[in-house]
């Protein structure tokens, strides 16, 4: 009997120790927030930093679920703080009618998928943001140039747009399109492409940047904000979309966010300093959404 009680006591002790260990265990972090100078930023501080922005350019890694979750958090936060318009690189301008019909409830998701050229990961990564706009009655703008025109410019330069029918002009930035090939990100892009890169391919990137900036400014709400989702490269180092926005409207308050995958989350790598106003570091071990 004494032995039995002893066994019970040991078992209870082990159980209590296990519970205490589980209760005290800290979950592994999967992201970190830093400002452009490398200082850590809290989640609350991050959202506060967006408060005075006219435009928020959220640069993402397209397959990163942490970035997509954070985009949804930002959208919910901004939706409760005045007029808000959402927009995204991932939907092309000529698909705006189908997007509007979906937002109004005139068609279901299946029809929207059929009518619009949605990205393969739309359902997991972007549909939650479009559905948030639908639920809150917010505009959602398809900001990207139709890919056929980006391809044409990539092969034949901006001159390729000279033969485009006039009824297609509303789907890209007004011509002539400003272009500075000396911008560091465009130079880097050409270098990264190596032997496969051409100046016209960089012009295609500029066409996308200019078109997204054009639609952001066109739909920027008075006294409100525009939250735009784009690949990080389109706004890193305040170039790309940001360059076109500030060229057209120098006094605009643009806050940029960049997403960077790293192995260590405790500090901002030196090479990522000034990449954006806020840098979202995400654990490289987090599985991609595709």
Q: Are strands 140-144 and 84-92 parallel, antiparallel or unpaired?
A: parallel
What order of strands is seen across the sheet that includes strand 278-283? 31-35, 278-283, 254-262, 55-60, 225-231, 84-92, 140-144
13: pLDDT strictly greater than 80: no
Calculate what percentage of the chain has a pLDDT beyond 90: 86
261: pLDDT strictly greater than 50: yes
Closest CA to 93 of 42, 52, 150, 49: 150
Closest CA to 206 of 179, 176, 187: 179
Check residue 11 and give its pLDDT: 44
Confidence of residue 91 (pLDDT cuts 50, 70, 90): very high
Q: E strands, the chain, where?
A: 31-35, 55-60, 84-92, 140-144, 225-231, 254-262, 278-283
How far apart, in whole angstroms, are the C-alpha atoms of residue 184 and residue 186?
Answer: 5
Check residue 29 and give its pLDDT: 82
Residues 6 or more apart from 171 whose CB is under 8 A from it? 92, 93, 94, 145, 146, 149, 211
Q: Which residue's structure tokens are 């409830």?
A: 105
147: pLDDT strictly greater than 50: yes
Q: Which residue's structure tokens are 């002009």?
A: 169
Q: What are the two backbone dihedrals, phi and then psi, of residue 41, each rounded to the nearest 5 degrees?
A: -125, 135
Q: pLDDT tens across 184-214, in order?
A: 999 999 988 887 789 999 999 999 999 999 9
Mean pLDDT, residues 92-113 taken together: 98
Check residue 194 and give its pLDDT: 81
Check residue 24 and give its pLDDT: 44
233: pLDDT strictly greater than 90: yes
**Six token digits for residue 197:** 């890169």
């Amino acid at each position: 009997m004494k032995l039995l009680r002893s066994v019970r006591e040991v078992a209870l002790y082990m159980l209590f120790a296990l519970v205490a260990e589980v209760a005290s265990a800290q979950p592994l972090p999967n992201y970190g927030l830093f400002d452009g100078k490398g200082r850590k930023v809290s989640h609350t501080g991050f959202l506060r930093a967006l408060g005075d922005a006219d435009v928020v350019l959220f640069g993402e890694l397209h397959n990163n679920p942490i970035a997509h979750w954070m985009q949804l958090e930002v959208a919910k936060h901004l939706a409760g703080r005045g007029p808000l318009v959402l927009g995204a690189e991932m939907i092309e301008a000529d698909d705006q009618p189908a997007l509007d019909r979906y937002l109004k409830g005139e068609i279901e998701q299946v029809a929207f998928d059929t009518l619009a050229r949605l990205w393969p990961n739309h359902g997991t990564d972007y549909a939650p943001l479009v559905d948030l706009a639908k639920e809150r009655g917010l505009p959602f703008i398809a900001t990207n140039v139709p890919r056929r025109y980006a391809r044409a410019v990539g092969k034949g330069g901006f001159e390729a747009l000279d033969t485009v029918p006039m009824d297609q002009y509303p789907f890209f930035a007004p011509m002539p399109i400003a272009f500075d090939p000396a911008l560091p990100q465009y130079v880097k892009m050409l270098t990264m492409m190596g032997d496969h890169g051409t100046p016209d391919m960089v012009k295609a990137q500029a066409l996308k940047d200019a078109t997204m900036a054009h639609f952001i400014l066109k739909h920027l709400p008075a006294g409100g904000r525009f939250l735009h989702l784009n690949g990080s490269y389109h706004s890193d180092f305040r170039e790309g979309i940001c360059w076109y926005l500030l060229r057209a409207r120098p006094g605009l308050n643009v806050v940029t966010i960049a997403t960077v995958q790293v192995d260590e989350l405790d500090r901002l790598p030196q090479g990522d300093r000034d990449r954006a106003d806020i840098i979202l570091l995400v654990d490289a071990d987090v599985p991609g959404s595709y």
